[in-house]
Amino acid sequence: LSALDGALPDLESAIMLSDEQQSLFTEKAYAFQILAKHKCGNTDYEGAMRFATESLQIFETLADRRGTLGSLTITGDIQVGRFDYAAALETYRNALAICDELGDRSRKAEMLAGIGSLYAALSDYATALEFHHKSLFIRKETSDKNGIAVALGNIGNTHFALSDYDSALEFHRQSLAISEELDDKTGIALSQNNLGDVYTAISDYDGALKCHHKSLFLCELTGDETGMAMSLQGIGEAYFMHGNYAEALEHEQKSLEIAEATGNKRVQVYALTGIGQAFSKLGDEPQAESFFLKAATLAAELGMKKETYEAYQELAAVYERAANFEKAYHAHKQFHRIKENVFGEEQMRKREGLEILRQTEKLQLENGLSERMLLSVLPKQIVERLKAGEGVIADAYSDVSILFADIVGFTVLASGTSPEALVIFLNDVFSRFDVLTKKFGLEKIKTIGDAYMVAGGLLERSETHLERLAEMALEMQREMDDYDGGAVQLKVRIGMHCGAAVAGVIGTEKLLYDLWGDAVNTAARMESHGVAGEIH
């Protein structure tokens, strides 16, 4: 003992050191996450993935599920940026599972939105809308107004991709209204920018310019330089489509200047292309050539293949107008080579991604159906225990309350009613009782013919379960008193008792959660020997 006593201070020091080290590792992992996000935002996907992987490894070693969730989310975003949709889906799916494990509805909504964006990238817009609407449902369920605005914006962008401009306008306006209600200047700016893009697409250039200028003003107000660059690029595109090439050039150049200052290379590609197009329309072909070459080079460096072949297509047109057919030939060759490569890769990604998505959805559907079926006959806590592999579920309770209710007059009603009408009647009555069961926080056990059994004090312990059961009995009476049974007068006969009971799951094919004990038998006899319309 004395030796152990002497060692205790060293053990305590070791534990403290371990806690300090764990804290340091956690801080380091979160720092890696921040770096990964920053590099991902600047399209440095290689650097971003390096930091995201480091962060993920630390959090997994520490068994920190919330930290792991954050690292997986960033990893998925990086994979999307790399156009590796199959890997991104797998990552988002793993993150989604952790959201369910943690009960984190907000992050689950984010993951659903991410998967929706993957479907959109695979041009499966119908399924993209389905996932974005699932995300919206959770946002509404959790009263997350900022999240609702984001989800509405995602839905609007998907409709925009479908060229469904009326719907796109509707959803972006809804998103804008919520952001304005919240005085979320960043959200307002984003919605205005999205609306500007839609207005440009429907040739309402005045509307587009108005929206993009509002977005620009707010971005300047909040110091959002990336938003400023995007707004200026949108203004430039609207002017270009409207035929005002000088204004288009001026705003595209401003967009490029900010994008270069902030290191946002993706926006630089769009601005360089826009500048080249404006110079081309203004008749300055050498300048147009210079900017298209810069756009093609930078786009290729970033792996933006679609933007690369579009820049080569513009170059080919410049060379043809200059009668430089050799350069035009080489530019056309590059254009077709990259475009065919992009088309082939897109088709392969779509096939791979959609197959994984189909398999994932099939598995989720099967698992979801199985769980919903279990939850329809068993309490949620019992389902969780079964999923955890618990074999025999049997619990003893010292104090539970039991209620049996029987519909008096049902036999007469059944004798003169069609089978369909009879089932509709029972479903209506028992559905009303189900609502009352939830209202009073009780547990429905089963229905037996026209009898309904409910209990209190089982899975969620409470000292008020008997009072709540009594209140439900009174409500059941009122429900049946108000029920129109036609020529047959319907009443409910109720028996209640409390005491010790055993609860458990029986069966292998059709599982049943049931109660046994003297208290149960007494409640059943109180009902069967009672007076119609009364509580016993």
- Same structural domain, 388 and 524: yes
- The reported pLDDT for the residue numbered 1 is 40
- The reported pLDDT for the residue numbered 17 is 41
- Same structural domain, 328 and 444: no
Kindly state whether residue 180 falls inside one of the protein's structural domains.
Answer: no
pTM of the full predicted structure?
Answer: 0.56
Kindly state whether residue 485 falls inside one of the protein's structural domains.
Answer: yes
- Same structural domain, 480 and 406: yes
Spatial distance between the Cα atoms of 251 and 457, rounded to a whole number of angstroms: 69
CATH number, domain of 469, equals 3.30.70.1230
For residues 209 and 237, is the Cβ–Cβ distance under 8 A? no
- Same structural domain, 395 and 336: no
Kindly state whether residue 177 falls inside one of the protein's structural domains.
Answer: no
Domain boundary residue, one of 103, 120, 155:
103
Helix (H, G, I), strand (E, B) or coil at 492: strand
- The reported pLDDT for the residue numbered 83 is 75
- Same structural domain, 395 and 328: no
- Same structural domain, 385 and 516: yes
What's the average pLDDT block by block, 10 residues per block, for the chain (536 residues)? 46 47 79 88 85 91 90 92 84 91 90 87 76 90 92 92 88 95 94 95 94 95 92 94 94 94 87 94 92 90 79 86 83 77 57 53 49 66 72 85 90 79 85 88 88 88 87 91 70 92 80 88 92 90
- The reported pLDDT for the residue numbered 334 is 80
DSSP-assigned beta bridge partners for residue 453: 404, 446
Kindly state whether residue 311 falls inside one of the protein's structural domains.
Answer: yes
Instruction: Give the helix/strand (H/E) hosting 497.
Output: strand 491-506
Domain boundary residue, one of 68, 103, 138:
103
Number of domains in the chain: 3
The sign of the torsion formed by the CA atoms of 312, 313, 314, 315 equals positive
| Contacts of the segment 350-358: beta carbons below 8 A, 24+ positions apart | 350/122, 350/123, 352/85, 352/86, 353/85, 353/86, 353/89, 353/118, 353/122, 354/122, 354/124, 356/86, 356/89, 356/90, 357/89, 357/118, 357/119, 357/122, 357/124, 357/127
Q: What are the b/e assignments for 492-515, b being 16+ CB within 10 Å? A: bbbbbbbbebebebeeeeebebbb
- The reported pLDDT for the residue numbered 295 is 92
The structure tokens listed for 264 are: 């946002």
Kindly state whether residue 405 falls inside one of the protein's structural domains.
Answer: yes
Single-letter residue type at 216: L
- CA angle, 132 as apex, 208 and 303 as ends, to 5°? 70
Kindly state whether residue 88 falls inside one of the protein's structural domains.
Answer: yes
CATH number, domain of 312, equals 1.25.40.10
- Same structural domain, 305 and 384: no
Single-letter residue type at 237: E
Q: Which domain holds residue 53?
A: 21-103
Kindly state whether residue 356 falls inside one of the protein's structural domains.
Answer: no
Q: Is 136 exposed, middle or buried (0-12, 13-18, 19+ CB in 10 A)?
A: buried
Kindly state whether residue 466 falls inside one of the protein's structural domains.
Answer: yes
Residue located via tokens 């004395």: 2
- The reported pLDDT for the residue numbered 258 is 94
- Same structural domain, 313 and 400: no
Instruction: Give the helix/strand (H/E) hosting 456.
Output: strand 451-456
- Same structural domain, 311 and 447: no
For residues 192 and 228, is the Cβ–Cβ distance under 8 A? no
Give, as one character, the DSSP assignment of residue 498: E
- The reported pLDDT for the residue numbered 4 is 40
